[in-house]
């Protein structure tokens, strides 16, 4: 699920290598032709050659690339788009993007959706939706008397395949309870997703058609937001794993209410079959939305581990052996959901920058220097 980090009332959530200059992949226009990049790149953001804003207003997040890097699929809540809660949209990565730009709706417009991803061939996508359980937006958890910040685990979420005209072609999951946060291997053979089917929030893989479901993780705690490495051999994911008796009791109690607490998450890495599982970060606070660098030897992710009040969130990179932690963005509010293009030349991410002091979260496209 596009799980949420709450910043001053703002809901923001989380959940194959292509040769450079491949035929049919056009260049992004020079940023200087479409926007003033100097005002978008922060001081010290040395990895960005240029930075382009793709959306203007609302909550826009979790943008993922088509296999040919020509399109992005993402989720948004936007009055301008007519969505009361997250729906799935597709946009071309090229062309001018202005406040008047309207992406194409590819979900049903009912329920809440999350975690879209292109399937091989770029003519179909998968995403999770609650629409079969209820066509209305599901309720957001009210502020708790105990002050705990929580994420909802909607039991109605299931994973669907749709074409780019919004027609649902297949339903991949049909188990009771939460199934969401699905992403696709760059090899095009497997899907990884999070499910509550065993009574805990674990990672599973399945074939592209939904067959041959295999459980990947089994330790108590929430495991989610998993992505494959560029060669399809590893998985990187976020986890909040309780250790003390008090933490375990709290986790189980919240899960029984359909909730999890995301304020203490670290990154874990394992082989695609679940073997050689190890903890990658030990930074404290919330470390999440990890994605492999195209080299396969680094991971980019969002973290608030240096924050005193829960924010800001910035992007960081770390080697897959746990060394070389490096800060990538220098924002004072929120940067998250970083995703590299398959050819490694671009990075798309969500940010509160350049929002005029509002709570809007928009998509930004960076040309990556290295």
Does 38 score more than 70 pLDDT? no
Q: What strand order describes the sheet that includes 326-327? A: 287-292, 298-303, 314-319, 326-327
Determine what percent of the chain is predicted with pLDDT higher than 70.
90
Residue (of 227, 230, 246, 247) closest to 238 by Cα position: 227
Contact residues for 295 (Cβ-Cβ < 8 A; gap 6+):
230, 344
Where residue 362 falls among pLDDT bands split at 50, 70, 90?
very high
Q: State both tokens at 234.
A: 């590893």
Burial of 145 (0-12, 13-18, 19+ CB in 10 A): exposed
Give the model confidence (pLDDT) of 326-356 as tens digits.
999 998 999 999 999 999 999 999 999 999 9
Q: Where are the domains of the chain?
A: 5-20+31-368
CATH number given to 5-20+31-368: 2.120.10.30
CA distance 202 to 204: 7
Where residue 148 falls among pLDDT bands split at 50, 70, 90?
confident
Indicate the Cα dihedral angle 283, 366, 346, 92, nearest 10°: 120
Give the model confidence (pLDDT) of 93-145 as tens digits.
999 899 999 999 999 999 999 999 999 999 999 999 999 999 999 999 888 88
Give the model confidence (pLDDT) of 59-80 as tens digits.
999 999 999 999 999 999 999 9
Q: What is the mean pLDDT of residues 218-230?
A: 98
Q: Can you name the residues that pair with 314 across neighbouring β-strands?
A: 303
Q: What is the mean pLDDT of residues 217-242?
A: 98
- Please report the pLDDT score of residue 10 as a whole number: 36
Where residue 14 falls among pLDDT bands split at 50, 70, 90?
low
CA distance 245 to 333: 34
Residue (of 320, 243, 235) closest to 275 by Cα position: 235
Predicted TM-score (pTM) of the model is 0.91
């Amino acid at each position: 699920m596009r799980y949420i980090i709450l910043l001053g009332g703002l809901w923001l959530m989380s959940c194959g290598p292509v040769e450079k200059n491949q035929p049919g992949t056009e260049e992004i226009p020079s940023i200087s032709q479409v926007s003033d990049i100097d005002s978008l790149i922060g001081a010290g953001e040395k990895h960005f050659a240029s930075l382009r804003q793709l959306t203007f207003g609302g909550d826009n997040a979790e943008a993922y690339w088509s296999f040919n890097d020509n399109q992005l699929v993402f989720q948004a809540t936007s009055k301008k788009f007519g969505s009361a809660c997250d729906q799935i949209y597709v946009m071309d990565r090229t062309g001018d993007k202005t406040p008047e730009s309207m992406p194409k709706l590819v979900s049903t417009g009912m329920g809440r959706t999350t975690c879209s991803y292109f399937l091989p061939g770029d003519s179909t996508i998968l995403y999770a939706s609650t629409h079969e359980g209820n066509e209305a937006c599901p309720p957001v958890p009210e502020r708790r008397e105990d002050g705990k910040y929580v994420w909802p685990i909607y039991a109605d979420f299931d994973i669907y395949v749709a074409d780019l005209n919004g027609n649902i072609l297949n339903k991949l999951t049909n188990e009771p309870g939460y199934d969401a946060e699905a992403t696709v291997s760059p090899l095009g053979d497997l899907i990884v997703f999070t499910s509550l089917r065993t009574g805990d929030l674990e990672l599973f893989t399945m074939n592209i058609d939904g067959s041959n479901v295999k459980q990947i993780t089994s330790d108590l705690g929430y495991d989610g937001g998993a992505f494959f490495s560029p060669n399809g051999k590893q998985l990187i994911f976020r986890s909040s794993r309780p250790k003390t008796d008090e933490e375990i009791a709290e986790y189980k109690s919240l899960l029984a209410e359909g909730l999890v607490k995301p304020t203490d998450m670290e990154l874990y890495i394992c082989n695609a079959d679940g073997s050689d599982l190890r903890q990658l970060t030990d930074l404290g606070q919330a470390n999440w939305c990890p994605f492999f660098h195209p080299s396969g030897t680094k991971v980019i992710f969002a973290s608030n581990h240096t924050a005193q009040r829960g924010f800001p969130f910035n992007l960081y990179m770390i080697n897959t052996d746990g060394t070389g932690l490096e800060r990538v963005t220098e924002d004072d509010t929120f940067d998250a959901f970083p995703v590299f293009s398959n050819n490694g030349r671009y990075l798309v991410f969500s940010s509160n920058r350049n929002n005029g002091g509002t709570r809007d979260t928009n998509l930004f496209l960076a040309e990556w220097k290295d």
